[in-house]
Amino acid sequence: MLHLIIFLVFAAVCIAGAVSLLVQRHPINSALSLIAVMVSLAVEYLLLGAEFVAAVQVIVYAGAIMVLFVFVIMLLNAGVEERTLGSRVATIFGIPAMLVGSGLLAWVLVQRSGTGSVAAGALWGDPQKIAQLLFHEFLLPFEVTSVLVLIAIMGAVVLASRPDQAQPGKKEG
């Protein structure tokens, strides 16, 4: 019972955060609300017994990634986003499509998710088991992610570095 209440509470927080991400006009606020979403998601993970995942969620996501976001926002001192109507399509097709799509999805998930309910900690994902998996069955993906990260670093370097001033900053194209 308690279990359900906790779920509902944090689900509410989640959704609230998500919605506020949408409605906030300043990126920083959006970022903060996203952090809220993530933290409460971590709680949900705990409810599902994925303690390690929950931890990582808080550390990596809420910690590292979001910090990066905030940093960039500050760097570019992005202000309140202005109201431009660049895309009629978005309002004509996008929103309805989204509503229809998510409606269908919800229906599917409710109708045919094919199971009853899960008890708290139905599957206890403690670090040891995870490590087992990660370094045997999922060894290759794990290694490959290193390439991914490598690429990411290179990309960040290349893109963020100022173009060399061989011919001073003239814009082409």
Partner 1 sequence: MVPLSYYLVLSGILFACGVTGFIIKRNIITIFMSIELMLNGVNLSFVAFAANWKALSGQVFVFFVMVVAAAEAAVGLAIIIAVYRNRETLNVDRVNLLKL
Partner 2 sequence: MTSNLYLWLIPILPLIGAAINGFLGKRLSRQAVSAVALTFSGAAFAMALYVASQFSSLSLPHIETVAPWIRAGQFQVDFGFYLDQLSLVMLLVVTGVGFLIHIYSVGYMWEEGGFYRFFSYLNLFMFFMLTLVLANNYLLMFIGWEGVGLASYLLIGFWFIKDSAASAGKKAFITNRVGDFGFLIALFLLIQHFGTLTFSDLFQKVSALSPETAGAGLLTAIGLLLMVGAAGKSAQIPLYVWLPDAMEGPTPVSALIHAATMVTAGVYMVARSHAIFERAPEALTVVAIIGTLTALFAATIGVAQTDIKKVLAYSTVSQLGYMFIALGVAAFSAGIFHLMTHAFFKGLLFLAAGSVIHSVGGEQDMRRMGGLRTKIPVTFWTMTIATFAIAGIPPLAGFFSKDEILWRAYQASWIYWVIGVFTAFLTSFYMFRLWFMTFFGTYRGEAESGHGQDPHGHGHGIHESPKIMLVPLVILAILSVVGGWIGVPGSLGGSNRFDHFLGPVFRSTAPALNAAHTAPGETAPPENQTEGTEPQTGHSTELAFTGISVLAGLLGLGLAYLLYYRRPELPHRIATSLGSFYEAVRNKYYVDEIYAAIFIKPLIDGSSKVLWKGIDQGVIDNSVNDAADGARDVSDAVRRMQSGNIRSYASWVALGAACVLAYMIWMGTR
Partner 3 sequence: MNTPQGVEYIRILPEIVLSVFGMAIMLLDPLLDDRRAPRLLGVVALVGSFAALAATLLQTQSPGLAFWGMVKVDSFSIFFHFLITAITAVVVLTSFEYMEVQKIHAGEYYGLVLFGAVGMCLMSSAVELVLIFIALEISSISTYILAGFRQRAAISSESSLKYFLLGSFATAFFLYGVALMFGATGSTSISLIGQSLSQSPAPLLAYAGIAFMFVGLGFKVAAAPFHIWTPDVYEGAPSPVVGFMSTAPKAAVFAVLLRILFEAHAPGRLWLIWIVAALSMTLGNIGALVQSNVKRLLAYSSIAHAGYLLVAFAALPANGIPAAMFYTASYAAMNVGAFAVISHFAGSGERLVTLEDYAGLGKRSPLLAATLTIFLLSLIGIPMTGGFFAKFYVFSAALQANLPGLVIVGVLNSAVAAYYYLRLIVVMYMRDAREDAPVSRIPLAMGTALVITVFATVYLGVLPGRILEYAAQSANELMR
Estimate to the nearest angstrom the gap between the alpha carbon of 122 and the chain centroid: 24
Distance CA 118, CA 84 (A): 45
Q: How far apart are CA 125 and CA 45, in angstroms?
A: 10
Q: Which range of residues in 20-28, 72-80, 120-128, 138-146 is near partner 3 by CB under 8 A?
A: 138-146
From the list 10, 19, 114, 17, the residue with the least C-alpha distance to 54 is 10
- Nearest-angstrom CA–CA distance, 38 and 62: 6
All residues at 6 or more sequence positions from 57 whose CB lies less than 8 Å from its CB, including other chains = 38, 41, 42, 45
What burial letters (b/e) apply to 93-127, b meaning 16+ CB within 10 Å?
eeeeeeeeeeeeeeeeeeeeeeeeeeeeeeeebee
Interface segment toward partner 3; rule CB under 8 A; list 23-31, 40-48, 60-68, 147-155? 147-155
| Residue choice 99, 108, 118, 131 for contact with partner 3 (CB under 8 A) | 108
Pick the piece of the chain touching partner 3 (CB under 8 A) from 17-25, 39-47, 74-82, 130-138: 130-138
Binding site partner of 38, from partner 1, partner 3, partner 2, none, Cβ cut-off 5-8 A by kind? partner 1
Q: Which stretch binds partner 3 (CB under 8 A): 3-11, 17-25, 62-70, 151-159?
A: 151-159
Q: Which is nearer to partner 2, 60 or 100 (CB)?
A: 100
Residues 77-116 that bind partner 2 (CB under 8 A): 86-90, 92-95, 97-98, 100-101, 104-105, 107-108
Contacts with 28 (C-beta within 8 Å, 6 or more apart), sequence order = 70, 73
Q: Pick what 9 binds: partner 3, partner 1, partner 2, none; C-beta below 5 to 8 Å, kind-dependent.
A: none
For partner 2, the binding residues (CB under 8 A) are 86-90, 92-95, 97-98, 100-101, 104-105, 107-108
For partner 3, the binding residues (CB under 8 A) are 105, 108-109, 111-114, 136-141, 144-145, 147-148, 150-152, 154-155, 157-159, 163-164, 166-167, 169-173
